[in-house]
């Protein structure tokens, strides 16, 4: 299971989303990967900024968009629980 936060420097909403994600994911023994879309673009990968740059922060769960602008904690917890149950089965 992978949880990724797409963000950018100076984004207050991104800081809040990161704190929420780290708190929630810790309950599941998971870590959050944080990708700065501007830094990625500067390094040559402009695709993330082109697709997601106007609605950051964006939360990706297993590479698929789960939400943006804020963390929907009940939904995220439900999805993480379901994925963990499938993994344990």
What residues have CB less than 8 Å from 64, skipping those under 6 apart? none
Q: Where are the domains of the chain?
A: 3-88
pTM of the model: 0.92
Q: Which CATH superfamily is domain 3-88 in?
A: Glutaredoxin (3.40.30.10)
Q: CA quadruple 41, 31, 3, 71: dihedral positive or negative?
A: negative
* Average pLDDT of the residues in 48-66: 95
- If you average pLDDT over residues 15-22, what whole number do you get? 97
- pLDDT band per the 50, 70, 90 thresholds, residue 78: very high
Please tell me the predicted confidence (pLDDT) of residue 22: 97
With a cut of 80, say whether residue 89 has pLDDT above it: no
Tell whether the model's pLDDT for residue 1 goes beyond 70.
Answer: yes
């Amino acid at each position: 299971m992978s949880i990724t936060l797409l963000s950018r420097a100076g984004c207050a909403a991104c800081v809040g989303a990161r704190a929420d994600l780290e708190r929630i994911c810790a309950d599941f023994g998971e870590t959050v990967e944080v990708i700065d879309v501007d830094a990625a673009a500067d390094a040559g990968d402009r695709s993330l900024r082109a697709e997601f740059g106007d609605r950051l922060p964006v939360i990706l769960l297993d590479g698929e968009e789960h939400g943006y602008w804020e963390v929907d904690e009940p939904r995220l917890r439900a999805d993480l629980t379901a994925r963990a149950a499938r993994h344990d089965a």
